[in-house]
Amino acid sequence: MAVSQELRIAIVGTGFIADVHMQVLRTLPRVRVAAVCDTLPGRAERFARRHGIARAFTELAGMLATDGIDVVHVAVPPAAHVAVARACLQAGCHVFVEKPLALQEPELVELQAIAATTGRRLGVNHNQTFHPALLRLKDHIAAGRLGRLEHVALQHNVPLRQLQTGDTGHFMFATEANILHEQGVHVFSMVHDLLGSAREVAAQTAPPRVLGNGNRFFDTWNVLLRCERGTADVRMAFGRSGLETTIHAIGSDGVAFVDLQRGACWLRRKTRWLDFLDHGRNLAAGGLHLLRRAAASVFGYATALFKLSFPEDPFLRGMRGSIAGFLGAVRAGGAVPCPPTAARAVLDMCLRTANAVGARSTPTLGADWPTPGPPRAREVVVLGGGGMIGRRCVERLLRQQRPVTLLVRRPALLPAAWRDAGLRVFGGDATDQAALQRAFAGADAVLHLATVAGDEAGAVERTMAAALRAAGEAARAASVRRLVWTSSTAALYLGGSAPLTGASGPDPQPAARGPYARGKIAAERQLDDLRAQGLDAVVLRPAIVLAAGAPLEHSGLGLWVRDNHCVGWGAGRTPLPLVLADDVADACVAALDAPAARGKTYNLAGGVRPTAREFVREMRVRTGRDYCFHPTPLWWMWLQELGKHLVKMLARRPRELPSLRDLRSRSFRAPLDCSDAGRDLGFQPEADRARFLQRLFDSATERR
């Protein structure tokens, strides 16, 4: 291939990482993304439209049958890497695969053999080995500044929001060993890059927790490795509150401390001076390096915002180095930077670490649920049954011995304990009319808890309204007796002083509200139309819903600029309508049958109403975390958002104009009157402050 030839790229898979690939590819010379493929209906088309890609496919074979593709980037879930990579290699394409290349060594060897036979380049995206700070460390090692590298101590501390929300449908929770293939591969790829393949592996873990899917999850791993060129001590901690990855590289004549989050690499070397001068020299050199990194971080953000440079973000720079290195090898016909041999060495570390602690590589339970049988008397269909409120509703219905049907996109994330509870489970999307019709057939009532916002920010309002209309029409067609839908108090204008009851209509000025609020308002209006056509629909508007074991950093308290820093919607002195998810679930289930609820709307707020200041202070005291509340006048917050908007406009990155009315509504100044919910639904939220806080915080404290 001529060095100057344009490379025509195809991307298979359109998840988060595919957007990152696009961000990098559009900055590389002589590269054009010609096609995209995703098997989920509509996703490839939306991705292609968003990024200006000419062709979109839902079948890999159809994409590979077309002319004009040189390189395929494989960004599908890991279990599908081998099948997709195999097909692309056999079609004559060079293939760049997201990590891990394969989950089993025989599959990896097979791909390696196919690449050798076809003469195509095969690489894996070990992007951490291109991290700018790690490259600086490798430069120091190559120049002999550390002497002989003897040991590497690596700390990897990672938040996993899925653990807090109970979303165990992600690949990393599918088996006990998958967390290593998802997260451990980042760490082990750096160990391999610095020290070579592992000769001996020993590992220990903290006691595991049991996930909803029945698998054990080891959240802390301590791994000792003896490698070809030295030893390594690796600690991986998952589900932590802070993201921190560091490397302490110890050589015979120097030491380096690498902070991968901030892109710093501080070198400390032996000198000929007395100890106090030696220490002073190393500290001064380190300080200068950190000052340069601080300036580069700020200046790099500003220049990247105006598209004058590539973003300073270390992750993006690592991705660019990895992708550019592979494409450069394709052009030059040379060796790829991260070949199958590197992937094989990293996979070996993952497998041996899992074996050392007895972590299984197969699911505890099968992913498939039995084929649903016929509907039963008084059948309740729950949409969004896997969510925080949905799970609690299902548990209550089961205790009442009420037959339950679920329509969920990913049945695998449902609690393992439900497999013997007699549930009927349909796989499908809450926007799919055919799936709704299958699930609703013969149902007595529908409990709609799903928030359908779509994956395009500009279409939230349209998507929410269309999804609720689809569910309402399917309910009417199936002669469902009652539909209960959970809206949100975000649909109301809460910036006034007059009390709001369930009969209070949604904000009459939706154009002045944010996308989520506009979506809820539009959906409520769609439901009004369906009510006029005879559908018995009950609307519930929960306020600030909190639950033990779920994230407490709710946007109703303020804008969480960090997971422990809350910028208040105002002074933070307004009593907030906090409500426990258990109490909301009681109201949802009661609304299915309450005679007086027909065609009505209710607000759901709790009886304990601390201010944002008070609640964040409770969070700090009861969790031991450094939570901070920052009161901020709404006008000042609006001016800041307006300033950001102007900067984005100048940088040609349009964003929605900030609305002062929307910020005022977020303050929850208007009192919520829930007496009608108490009268018609028996809604009795926790009113004792001590019990409220105990129910909310006790399990969170036990988990620490």
pLDDT digits (tens, 9 = 90+) for 395-422: 999 999 999 999 988 777 788 788 888 9
Please give the pLDDT value at position 232.
98
Q: What is the pLDDT of residues 588-626, one digit of tens each?
A: 999 999 999 999 999 999 999 999 999 999 999 999 999
541 pLDDT more than 80: yes
Please give the pLDDT value at position 460.
81
Please give the pLDDT value at position 699.
56
Q: Which tokens is 435 given?
A: 């799936």
Please give the pLDDT value at position 645.
81
Q: Which tokens is 480 given?
A: 């469902």
501 pLDDT more than 80: yes
The CATH code that applies to domain 7-125 is 3.40.50.720
Helix (H, G, I), strand (E, B) or coil at 42: coil
Distances (CA, A) of 555 to 76, 514, 545, 546, 612: 32, 13, 10, 11, 11
Q: Which tokens is 133 given?
A: 């700070």
Find the mean pLDDT for residues 476-493. Answer: 96
129 pLDDT more than 90: yes
- Decide if 7-125 and 129-318+329-357 have a common fold: no
481 pLDDT more than 90: yes
Find the mean pLDDT for residues 333-341. Answer: 94
651 pLDDT more than 80: no
Please give the pLDDT value at position 133.
96
256 pLDDT more than 70: yes
Model confidence at 704, pLDDT cuts 50, 70, 90, reads very low
Please give the pLDDT value at position 367.
55
Please give the pLDDT value at position 122.
97
Pairwise pLDDT comparison (365 vs 188), residue with the higher score: 188
Please give the pLDDT value at position 701.
42
Please give the pLDDT value at position 332.
92
Find the mean pLDDT for residues 552-571. Answer: 94
Please give the pLDDT value at position 639.
92
Percent pLDDT > 90 in the chain is 76
Of 275-284, 459-468, 472-481, highest mean pLDDT = 472-481
Task: Evaluate whether 406 touches 390 at the Cβ level (below 8 Å).
Answer: no
Q: Which residues of 436-451 are buried (b: 16+ CB within 10 A; e: fewer)?
A: bbbbbbebbbbbbbbb
Please give the pLDDT value at position 364.
67
Q: What is the pLDDT of residues 62-74, one digit of tens each?
A: 999 988 899 999 9
Please give the pLDDT value at position 386.
85
Q: For the chain, give every domain's residue range.
A: 7-125, 129-318+329-357, 380-703
Please give the pLDDT value at position 4.
52
The CATH code that applies to domain 380-703 is 3.40.50.720
DSSP-H helix ranges across 408-450:
433-440
Find the mean pLDDT for residues 504-509. Answer: 94
589, with CB counted inside 10 A (0-12, 13-18, 19+), is buried
Please give the pLDDT value at position 458.
62
Please give the pLDDT value at position 703.
43
Q: What is the pLDDT of residues 422-475, one digit of tens each?
A: 999 998 888 888 999 999 999 999 999 988 765 565 678 888 889 999 999 999
Pairwise pLDDT comparison (453 vs 114), residue with the higher score: 114
Find the mean pLDDT for residues 662-691. Answer: 95
DSSP-H helix ranges across 270-414:
275-305, 314-332, 340-357, 388-399
- CATH fold for the domain made of 129-318+329-357: Dihydrodipicolinate Reductase; domain 2 (3.30.360)
Find the mean pLDDT for residues 629-653. Answer: 87
Task: Evaluate whether 686 touches 606 at the Cβ level (below 8 Å).
Answer: yes
